[in-house]
A and B are shown apart, each in its own frame.
Chain A
Amino acid sequence: MSTGVGKPLLERAQDYDPAALAEIYDQYAPRIYNYIYYRIGDSGLAEDLTANVFLNMLEAIQANRSWRTSFSGWLYRIAHNVVVDQFRRRGKMRELPLDERLVSLEDDPAKSAELTLEVEWLKRAIGDLTADQAEVIILKFIEGLTNAQVAGIMGKTEGAVKSLQYRALASLRKKLESEEQSVKEERH
């Protein structure tokens, strides 16, 4: 993933330049929201936590804990911490309600419904993974980050991320198969 944010913009952000911060927010807020939403499965809470991520970003700048290398990795890391805090407070939420905010990318209503169902299975299956496995799936395949970025955010080595993604995909596959199986059984 390209950060898309040049150095001058980031430097200005560190000086609380409103235009630079607004640009950063517009660029990253939707991604951070997606990441948080997939991790906790609650759109309302995801909205609040996304706001918290950006407030934490300002606090980190104020406390001279700004990014040193990758800005996007640093921001996702804040989001990761915010989610972890949330899990600690309330326990991991495994119920991922079907959300009306799913965006249909398909014109054909029948295909769209089918896809939405498939997407729903996927969301549910990701919600059933361990926290680490879910996170690697979200960061790597939904957010499109590189192994190095994922490793930085999760505090792991790239080698560990490779192993984790293998186990995560294998678990996800099993859960999807079992989901499919139970749907078939319900139909019979």
Chain B
Amino acid sequence: MSRKRGIESALDKCLFHLQEGDSIEECLARYPKLVQELEPLLRVAVQAQQLRGRVSAPKEALAAGRASFLNQAAILRDERERSRTGTLSRLRDGLRVAWAGLARRRGLTTIAASVLLLFGLLGGGTIASANSLPGDPLYPLKRASEQVQLALAFGSETKAELRDSFDKRRIEEVHSILEVRRETRVRFKGTVLRIADDQWAVSGVDLVMETDTTVEGNPLIGREVHVEAVTRSDGRVIARYVRVITPVTPPATATPVPTATATVTAEPTNTEQTAPALAPVTPTSEPTATQSSSKRKPKRTATPKPTSTPQEPTPSLEPTEVETATPTPTLMEPTPEPPRDVKVKFEGLIREITSASWLIGDHSVQTDASTQVLEEKGTAEVGAWARVKAIRRQDGSLLALQIIIERASETHGEPVEFRGVIDHIGDTEWTVEGQSIRIIDSTVIEGTPEIGHVAEVKALRLSDGSLTAKHISVKPPELQEVEFEGVIESIGDSIWVVDGHSVHIDGETAIQGNAWVGLSVEIRAVVLPDGTILARHIRVKSPTIEPSATPIPTTTPPPTPTPEPPTATPTQENPTEPTATPSPGQDQQAGPTVEAAN
């Protein structure tokens, strides 16, 4: 190791020990021969550390940046959720441009710009969008403003109140959409009030359940659900996806619902209510008008069985939508809702496979002859990741309709290690040295991934021959510098042949002298990872003979790579270091630009 390298290494170790709490003297004691060189540098390092915490960002600026950041995030989240790019993308760009323009304008401080923007979103923009409905151009702004309100709200109670009011708003929007007979997609959250084959009611919205409607979870009356649906011009709301949020009571099957023998059902009109009445309620003698805005017609329950004198209604319960000819005060035992087959979807790791059932994630799912197993992305085996479409049968068991293998097993396979140049970087797949490697969530990637860099890959070769990366260490290409002499055999635009070697020329190649075929040249070049010789400097030697059309071979030996250490003299900015000249698009992850111009 050169002395300079030795100092660099000792300095680095001393700096590490200083960070760990050692004094400069203790550090120097480890390197008595280098005290003279190290001491002043360590003192400067300690001095530089004094700047830590010396600057604090103005609180107003941070607050403004925070609001802008959360505002933008809310817009993007809404955009992602709705999978709509048109209006929201323009809105986002517009906001960003507005933000940038406001913030950069002299005389208008960042905080002022932020406040203006926020007012624009929460104030004027929202006023304009307040009455908008799904499908309206301003509707995304309405949703974005709600997200901002949520983000800026203090306290969980306030946030919960806001969420509830937004949930109610979603349901009101559905009714409004039905009034105007618009066909559009709607999403809302509500309480299941009725389940009857293909007709459900969720918080006052009548849903049509079609054969391809997916229901996730165990739907029972009283449970809260997320609904994705489409409205039709004939006033129907076709459910596409219903997800049960949380069980009302454990165990789930204990949720009582009035049955045909019950004379009264007290269904909460308030959609904010998370739990339905758990016990039979005191009946009303007359159907009670409700304050709910629901336009749903009251549904009649089955034949009542009058038993005794009716009692006064309990005002707090506000029972609705029920007509009873002769109510009964008898507290009827609730009968569990009859179970029914529902479609469910889930995904998870395959833990066990037997002839009759599979354990996928936490679910045991049965298979039969009709179960489809799709293995396009990997073999169905323990350790693979599977997506399952199944039916939850009346007894609660699951029968798989489809098991789709999403990812091959990560635990099986032959370990392989290799090293090579990165040719392609994708989100889920890289190509290294011509080999395709699958990147999975657990793949550890060290270094900065970049095409042309060298990757040391530890992977598993699965049974289908594919490779799944476990660990990738990315290193900048190790460029070797070579110097050699030879006779020019041919001269092309980008490639010269010198002594039988193809020498690549690019815009940075410096050529000194007039080059002709047959002349001797001194070449300084780098050898790229793929073996390409890229000339950095070519000096044409004074011709000792007249140039001729016929190349005159010489006895100059072929170039011998002479690797240089990655650093040069301390007075220069490391001209031989490979990373000193970054290629465009160096960081594929972090942003649009790559390297500082000195």
Seen from chain A, the residues whose Cβ lies within 8 Å of a Cβ on chain B are 15-19, 21-22, 25-26, 29-30, 33-34, 37-38, 43-44, 46-48, 50-52, 54-56, 58, 60-62, 64-69, 74, 77-78, 80-85, 87-88, 99, 101-103, 105, 115, 118-119, 122-123, 126, 130-133, 135, 137, 140-144, 147, 152, 154-157, 159-160, 162-167, 169-170, 172-173, 176
Contacts and interface: CB of A to CB of B under 8 A. Distances in A.
B94 to A, nearest CB: 14
Contacts of B414: none
B331 interface: no
Given A25-B66, A160-B574, A170-B570, A132 B596 contact: yes
A18 B450 CA distance: 32
A60 B53 contact: no
A140 B73 CA distance: 31
B52 A144 contact: yes
B328 interface: no
Contact of B595 (A61, A102, A155): A155
Nearest to B96: A55
A84 B45 CA distance: 24
A30 B96 contact: no
Contacts of A51: 64-65, 68-69, 99, 103, 110
A55 to B, nearest CB: 6
B598 interface: yes
A16 B15 CA distance: 39
Interface in B558-598: 566-567, 570, 573-574, 577-580, 582, 586-598
Given A15-B77, A122-B50, A162-B8, A22 B66 contact: yes
A81 B51 contact: no
B70 A18 contact: yes
Contacts of B48: 122, 126, 137, 141-142, 169, 172
Contacts of B316: none
Interface string B40-75: 110011011111111111100110111011101110
A33 B593 CA distance: 19
Interface stretch (B251-259, B381-389, B440-448): B440-448
A15 B76 CA distance: 9
A70 to B, nearest CB: 10
A13 B446 CA distance: 22
B80 interface: yes
A143 B7 CA distance: 23
Contact of B593 (A25, A85, A140): A85
Nearest to B12: A162
B476 interface: yes
A48 B593 contact: no
- Chain B, interface size: which category? 35 or more
Nearest to A64: B427
Contacts of B268: none
A103 B80 contact: no
Contacts of B55: 33-34, 37-38, 99, 101-103
Given A16-B77, A67-B589, A84-B594, A130 B70 contact: no
B589 to A, nearest CB: 5
Given A16-B73, A22-B70, A56 B7 contact: no
A132 to B, nearest CB: 6
Contacts of B49: 141-142, 144
Nearest to A31: B57
A84 B80 contact: no
15 contacts: A18-B74, A22-B151, A25-B65, A25-B70, A26-B66, A50-B62, A80-B590, A81-B587, A81-B594, A142-B51, A152-B448, A157-B579, A163-B8, A163-B566, A166-B12
Contacts of B567: 159-160, 163
Nearest to A47: B61
Contacts of B579: 154-157, 160
B54 A103 contact: yes
A169 B44 contact: yes
Contacts of A17: 77
B21 to A, nearest CB: 13
Contact of B58 (A43, A68, A126): A43
Contacts of A115: 50
A47 B596 contact: no
A29 B66 contact: yes
Given A22-B70, A122-B50, A30 B593 contact: no
Given A67-B589, A141-B49, 8 more contacts: A16-B80, A37-B57, A65-B590, A101-B56, A122-B51, A157-B566, A157-B577, A167-B573
Contact of B41 (A22, A135, A164, A169): A169
A12 to B, nearest CB: 11
A182 to B, nearest CB: 18
A16 B74 contact: yes
A162 B449 CA distance: 21
A176 B48 CA distance: 11
Contact of B582 (A87, A103, A131, A155): A155
Nearest to A164: B574
B151 to A, nearest CB: 4
A166 B597 contact: no
A80 B586 CA distance: 12
A137 to B, nearest CB: 6
Nearest to A160: B577
A68 B589 contact: yes
